Amino acid sequence: MAVTWAGAPITNPNLQLTYVSATWTPSGDVFACGLGNMGVVLKSTNYGVTWTQVYSSSSITGLQGLSSGAVTADGVTYYMVVDDAEGRTYMSSGTGQVWQEVNSAGVYLSSTAIGTNGYAFAVGFDDTILRASYPSFNSWAPKSTGDVDIPLWLDVSTPDGINVIIVGTGGKVYYSANSGNSWTAGSSGTSGSIYCVSHAGPSTTFAMAAGESGYLAKTQDGGSTWSLMTAHSSNYTVRFRAISLLSTTEAYLGVFKDPNVNGIPFGLIYRTIDGGSTWSIVASLSAEIYSLSMYSTSYGVAGSSPGTAIFAIVPGKMLL
């Protein structure tokens, strides 16, 4: 069957937000969260073809940094997301139908990650790094790097809750091999903002990161050294959680175009199957791509600009 990226329309005008992160469960359900005039979490049980609202709050203007993780000790899948202004963290578990606030940091938070050991991390402004543990996630301990530049952390990734990588403004990247109890600065190769980072499945050492000015890099040593790669041109930008790795060889990248440049596609999705040595365009889309999350080579979702759709890849099915 053919594999095609197509839009899954968001028909409810209240839900036409900018979907900035998405996450898959081990069973193939997918969740997405958005920024706009309210905070929303959507869920799809058919690989992104249709979506149902499972959480919303009109008291905030958006949610971001959505993550999920199956904890080895109890076999439960947990979900974590933060709001875009008040520094509040929300969690859910199991089917993801019930959400609750578990922390209010009082500082801007941008992203979360959950490891298989049950540790969750939330990162954000002023070198804020917080850690909590399953099942309640109601006690968050500060785990800041102490960096003198007091960076804004934009994303965090951990496969196991022990090995952690964080990225942010000023080309900052730090890594930890002890659940954030201590941090070491990595050499990112850029002074620009790094917006997203993702480990390759269960690997604790292989990850990729992307950011402004065409920055795209990979590490094979857990975050210490980063090798630059080339995929998109400077006419395109990566933001939010727009890089997704299926393995150490197969990865995907979503980008959106510079608004000052005309005559080119609004959004592109790239793929590599050789660990980042070469990248090829697998989708040219009619809306900006702000997030990307792959479940497999055949299934994935990409969050887009408001008022359009969440794009999905579904074998043999055109959604529009």
pLDDT of residue 61: 81
Superfamily of domain 3-315, CATH level 4: YVTN repeat-like/Quinoprotein amine dehydrogenase (2.130.10.10)
Contact yes or no for 279/231 (Cβ under 8 A): yes
Cα separation, 242 vs 303, in Å, equals: 9
Cα separation, 207 vs 192, in Å, equals: 18
Q: How many CA atoms lie within 13 A of 234 on its CB side?
A: 1
Could you tell me the CA-to-CA distances from 207 to 116, 290, 320 in Å, in that order? Answer: 17, 19, 34
pLDDT of residue 311: 79
pLDDT of residue 310: 79
pLDDT of residue 129: 98
pLDDT of residue 320: 38
pLDDT of residue 3: 56
For the chain, the domains span: 3-315
pLDDT of residue 256: 87
pLDDT of residue 314: 59
pLDDT of residue 2: 40
**Which pLDDT tens digit goes with each residue over 6-25?**
887 788 888 888 899 999 99
Low-confidence ranges of the chain (pLDDT < 50): 1-2, 316-320
**Which pLDDT tens digit goes with each residue over 223-250?**
999 999 999 887 888 888 899 999 999 9
- Structure tokens of 64? 């971001």
Residue 184: CB atoms within 10 Å = 13
Chain center to CA of 207: 13
pLDDT of residue 316: 45
Backbone angles phi, psi at 15, to 5 degrees: -105, 5
pLDDT of residue 73: 97
Q: Which residues are within 8 A (CB) of 101 and not within 5 positions of it... i.e. 6 or more apart?
A: 88, 89, 90
SS (H, E, C) the chain: CCEEEEEEECCCHHHCCEEEEEEECCCCCEEEEEECCCEEEEEECCCCCCCEEEEEECCCCEEEEEEEEECCCCCCEEEEEEECCCCEEEEEECCCCCCEEEEECCCCEEEEEECCCCEEEEEECCCEEEEEECCCCCCCEECCCCCCCCCCEEEEECCCCCCEEEEEHHHCEEEECCCCCCCEECECCCCCCEEEEEECCCCCCCEEEEECCCCEEEECCCCCECEECCCCCCCEECCCCCEEECCCCCEEEEEEECCCCCCCCCEEEEEECCCCCCCEEEEEECCCEEEEEECCCCCEEEEECCCCEEEEEEECCCCC
